[in-house]
């Protein structure tokens, strides 16, 4: 089984000028990120605009990712749905399409409770033999999983012992989950655009799973950290977090990220599917500014 | 164009013992409800468990409804999605499948705003020529549409002048929407299981669009009301609302409704797709009790 | 120690024409409700508009209730706050003012968790020796307490074994809490305007704690039920629930309730403190109608 | 009338070891921040733990701030409440205590709407002659004010033309509010711990109103920016934002901020009132690290 850790890039879903899925751009993103040294990909995540795809498009996206990646790194597929049955079906399709793992949030539902969440993960796991990454992102799922629940899932569902943690404060919650799960090996990925990556690593996280458009920076940070070169990891992080923070703005984060990937030559078009934030001139100018600064500072800052 | 009003029954999606869609049961529900005198059907609504269907299942459900109804009453299809493009696509499919209208909620999204909601309806309307029923159900959509916004949509989008109103207090909001939309003919359906039907009618609603398992009661109330026999309509309503209230319980409403339809001989199985509330013995016994009382009272209550 | 059960009326806070607290009207409400046979009072609850009172006004309200009640029935005082320290202080003041018990919700706070909630109740209990009624009303507290948490509080905090349950479906949750707390005597009051009182009693509730403006109806239902005359209790309930439902409308419930109490001669003025729903003509007319019907039906319906 | 702009520090409420308000520590914070060049203070804000103070404590805090500040800079007092009447009363008290302005959020209430919010500000303004800062912080108020509503309030309520904007993406919303309010001079403060200060200034904000524990950094950024030295302002910002981001963590932000102020010698104790996040060792170590880095980088980073 895969040992999850390092940097898994959550892939965007690129669209062409008419709004259709653009596989060529996605392939270029994959190439760019592989060149940056990422350890895996996550397709069909929230920031992959999965909620705005048809099922056929979902399949086309996942096929593109699996095919173009050619097994060089594992591919995780998001299969969150509002019901157990569809979640199992999407998970089966993902496995059949070649995904190495799936990522699943609690099913969105009024009156959801801990018991039902634990059962959901257990039943998906018993129906499909594939590693499950438990996504903890309350603003989207509508349900906050307490550390005790995440630890319970890890104990009861051996295939669901990796967590993508996006319920701040993530460093503190990382510590609490690891304590609550004592005796079971849980692996935690930070998310949230990388904005707390250093502190998550200090708290015991295994890496980052996020869509930040410069994953090579995350790779550098994680690699230094794992090599025990904590000060250098921290320096690299602090020099870059101004950009991560800017990219990860509520409501327009995905639009900014795609614009960066367009500037990096990967995306032909930066559009996101409506409704969604559209970048104004001021935001674009502010993006120019922070990108230049981070680039200059990182160049200058390379330590000897 | 259809004039919307009267009683439109929101149809359940029946499943068999293995959890598969059960078209035969759905046909029996349609027959039962047509015999009860309903003026239309709504398929693929929230209580149709649409969020737990695959696209193929959505299509099968809508085909069953359209085919079995055979044009005797209009069929509305729910086509709410989180993105404009998929909403347009589902709306086109619904029209092609024979739906007379579609029902659409604001697209669920963090940071949604009034402007984006108005644009969403305008763009669906300009892409597909079909009447749109605007669903106002904040617990599911996550967005509360103020009367001014609903009136604005009605003014700007002529095909979207019917509202399924489920944001309590619905009678008061009905009054406010009608005032705000002055000069534009807006038609409002109550929902919420019928629990405020009388008061909604008194405030100017055109009828009810809900899934209450005894739509003939709703038909009786609306018919009396429209005939100007308000006291009789009120009497019929007050004698029945204990049951509507019981059926429309948060978290288990759909499970109760299906159980009632099973008892009425329409559904082969009462199950809803997990996760979801399961009825315990006490709830089942309480259901027996309220059903018997309403039946007896209605029989007894036929007035002089 | 008091055994909580029966009907505890949550008292409104009456205001005069200028918006000042009106103790005379509150005294008349107390007299009216005592004449109706209630078993206790709750002052300073959510529907007592406690969030819109100054501390001095809170004290005036509680003093009026305690003084005027003269020990004939116990008085519960709401002491919910957003912090532990103020909650303890308000609880001390309530005890000093003569309250027999306090009612406390989880402290409203982003990122609240089960652990912190359990600790909150434990610390209030250890600071003040007075029975605590745990209020479970998520729309106001912002936190849903699962049955396991309520059972844990009951086990760990002996003075906090009474629950005012307002998280629907309340009958089902009543069953679950009683099961989860097995071995500890937990007592559950229904709330929610009485709208599910019968079903809550069937599930094991000890009574109702709510502000319904005709508590004598609740008293009749609970008394019949406790006497084992379940059918009669149910009949009384079903004949009245149309009114409870109407009164308990989201957003304008308190305005309706005060209008009813004005009509009953208890309140000099029906106003609630702004901002808040104001009743329009249609709502007032609908109120006339449902009040008349319930009155007539109850008169007529008295069983032999 | 005051022209609001620059850096207004939101003051913490310090407590001593027993949890009592500690005026000496508050005075030291004021001295530290005045030495840092701030343009004003805001007392009794959300991060001043105002929700956990009694009225007497509120008064003690405000008196300490006004008295110790001695008019050197204006003092804004938070007077948000859930009702109009208490808001007016608190606003009167704040004015009498010497506050130069008040800060008010929409009153928290289910079913709140734009109309009621506009009326709330208008009525406070007509009752008390004092500048009002409109706080737009949806996670606490529970209500998102759209740009059109904020512009409407500015047009209709001349004393309420300053906004503390904390609804991300704040730079984009700043642009939209200024556009919507065209013709009326609206002034916007950023908040959110300073995490988007540069971008807010680029979008037209007048400054920052936040509690960041190093306000001298904010002062430097705003001063450079206003002097047209944008690149230097940006450089100063980017070098510091790693710390702002760390301090401004959901759920534990206030605990971190107080710990920093303790380390800076201002607070005798760093405790916040329970319930609330408590800092663990990992968070404290991460704080050491980011504080050292920012200090070193800022020292080193003085440009040539």
What separation in angstroms does the CA of A267 have from each of A14, A30, A257, B9?
7, 11, 11, 47
pLDDT at B26: 98
Which tokens sit at A91? Answer: 């998970």
Instruction: Supply the mean pLDDT for chain A.
Output: 96
- Element holding B190 (H helix, E strand): strand B187-190
Confidence check: pLDDT of B176 > 70: yes
At which residue do the structure tokens 């190093």 appear? D214
pLDDT at B31: 98
Confidence check: pLDDT of C1 > 70: no
Q: What is the Cα C186 distance to its own chain's centre?
A: 17
Distance from CA of C195 to the nearest CA of B (A): 8
pLDDT band at residue B70 using 50, 70 and 90 as cut-offs: very high
pLDDT at C303: 46
Contacts of A86 in chain B (CB under 8 A): 52-54
Optimal mutation site among D109, D113, D179, interface B, most CBs of chain B within 10 A? D113
Q: What is the pTM of this model?
A: 0.97
HSE, CB side, 13 Å, CA atoms: give it for residue D267.
23
- Per-residue pLDDT tens for C36-82? 999 999 999 999 999 999 999 999 999 999 999 999 999 999 999 99
Contact C120 D19 (CB under 8 A): no
* D143/D136 Cα distance (integer angstroms): 8
Nearest CA in chain C to D114: C275
Share of chain C above pLDDT 90, in %: 96
Contacts of D111 in chain B (CB under 8 A): 169
User: Shortest CB distance from A238 goes to which of D251, D282, D293?
Assistant: D293
pLDDT band at residue C12 using 50, 70 and 90 as cut-offs: very high
* D282/A105 Cα distance (integer angstroms): 27
Compare A97 and D302 and report the one with higher pLDDT: A97
pLDDT band at residue B9 using 50, 70 and 90 as cut-offs: very high
pLDDT band at residue D2 using 50, 70 and 90 as cut-offs: confident
pLDDT at B1: 66
Instruction: Determine contact: C77 vs chain B, CB below 8 A.
Output: no
Nearest CA in chain D to A242: D238
CB pairs under 8 A between A and C: 11
pLDDT at C299: 86
Neighbours of chain A (3+ CB pairs under 8 A): B, C, D
Which tokens sit at D44? Answer: 């009794």
Where b means 16+ CB within 10 Å and e means fewer, B37-55 reads: bbbbbbbbbbbbbbbbbbe
HSE, CB side, 13 Å, CA atoms: give it for residue B39.
19
Instruction: Determine contact: C148 vs chain A, CB below 8 A.
Output: yes
Nearest CA in chain C to B280: C172
Instruction: Determine contact: B53 vs chain A, CB below 8 A.
Output: yes
- Per-residue pLDDT tens for A18-61? 999 999 999 999 999 999 999 999 999 999 999 999 999 999 99
pLDDT at D277: 81
Confidence check: pLDDT of D256 > 50: yes
Instruction: Determine contact: A282 vs chain D, CB below 8 A.
Output: yes
* C12/C42 Cα distance (integer angstroms): 9
Instruction: Supply the mean pLDDT for chain B.
Output: 96
pLDDT band at residue D304 using 50, 70 and 90 as cut-offs: very low
pLDDT at A304: 36
Average pLDDT in the D168-183 region?
97
Compare A130 and D276 and report the one with higher pLDDT: A130
Q: Which residues contact D257 (CB under 8 A, 6 or more apart)?
A: D12, D47, D211, D212, D213, D247
* B254/B259 Cα distance (integer angstroms): 9
* D49, D55, D56, D58: CA torsion to nearest 10: 40
Average pLDDT in the A253-281 region?
96
Q: Which of A21, A86, A80, A61 is nearest to B58 (CA)?
A: A86
- Per-residue pLDDT tens for A146-192? 999 999 999 999 999 999 999 999 999 999 999 999 999 999 999 99
What separation in angstroms does the CA of D123 have from each of C270, D83, D87, D89, D138?
21, 11, 10, 12, 21
Nearest CA in chain B to A52: B83
pLDDT at C301: 63
pLDDT band at residue D263 using 50, 70 and 90 as cut-offs: very high
- Per-residue pLDDT tens for D5-45? 999 999 999 999 999 999 999 999 999 999 999 999 999 99
ipTM: 0.97
Average pLDDT in the D246-251 region?
96
* D55/C57 Cα distance (integer angstroms): 12
pLDDT at A276: 84
Contact B274 A112 (CB under 8 A): no
Confidence check: pLDDT of C304 > 80: no
- Helical ranges in D144-280 per DSSP H: 147-156, 170-180, 197-202, 215-226, 230-247, 253-263
- Element holding B77 (H helix, E strand): strand B75-78
Give the CA diameter of chain C.
56
pLDDT band at residue D303 using 50, 70 and 90 as cut-offs: very low
Nearest CA in chain A to C146: A113
- Under a CB-based contact definition with an 8 Å cutoff, are residues A6 and A40 in contact? yes
Confidence check: pLDDT of A303 > 70: no
Average pLDDT in the B256-264 region?
98
């Amino acid at each position: 089984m895969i040992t999850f850790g390092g940097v898994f890039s959550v892939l965007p879903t690129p669209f062409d000028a008419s709004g259709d899925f653009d596989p060529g751009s996605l392939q270029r993103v994959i190439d760019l990120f592989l060149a940056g040294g990422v350890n895996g990909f996550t397709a069909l995540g929230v920031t992959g605009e999965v909620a705005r795809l048809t099922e056929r498009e979902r399949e086309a996206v996942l096929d593109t990712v699996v095919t173009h990646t050619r097994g060089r790194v594992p591919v995780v597929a998001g299969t969150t749905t509002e019901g157990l049955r569809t979640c199992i079906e999407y998970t089966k399709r993902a496995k059949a399409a070649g995904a190495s793992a799936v990522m699943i949030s609690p099913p969105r539902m009024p009156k959801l409770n801990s018991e039902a969440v634990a059962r959901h993960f257990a039943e998906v796991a018993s129906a499909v033999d594939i590693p499950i990454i438990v996504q903890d992102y309350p603003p989207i799922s509508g349900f906050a999983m307490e550390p005790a629940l995440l630890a319970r899932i890890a104990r009861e569902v051996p295939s669901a012992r990796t967590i993508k943690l996006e319920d701040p404060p993530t460093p503190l919650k990382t510590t609490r989950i690891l304590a609550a799960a004592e005796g079971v090996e849980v692996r935690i990925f930070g998310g949230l655009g990388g904005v707390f990556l250093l502190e998550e690593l200090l708290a015991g996280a295994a890496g980052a799973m996020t869509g930040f458009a410069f994953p090579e920076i995350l790779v550098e940070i994680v690699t230094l950290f794992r090599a025990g070169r904590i000060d250098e990891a921290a320096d690299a992080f602090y020099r870059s977090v101004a950009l991560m923070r800017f990219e990860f703005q509520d409501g327009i984060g995905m639009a900014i990220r795609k614009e960066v990937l367009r500037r990096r030559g990967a995306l032909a078009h930066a559009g996101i599917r409506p409704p969604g934030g559209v970048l104004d001139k001021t935001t674009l100018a502010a993006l120019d500014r922070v990108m230049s600064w981070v680039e200059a500072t990182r160049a200058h800052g390379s330590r000897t």
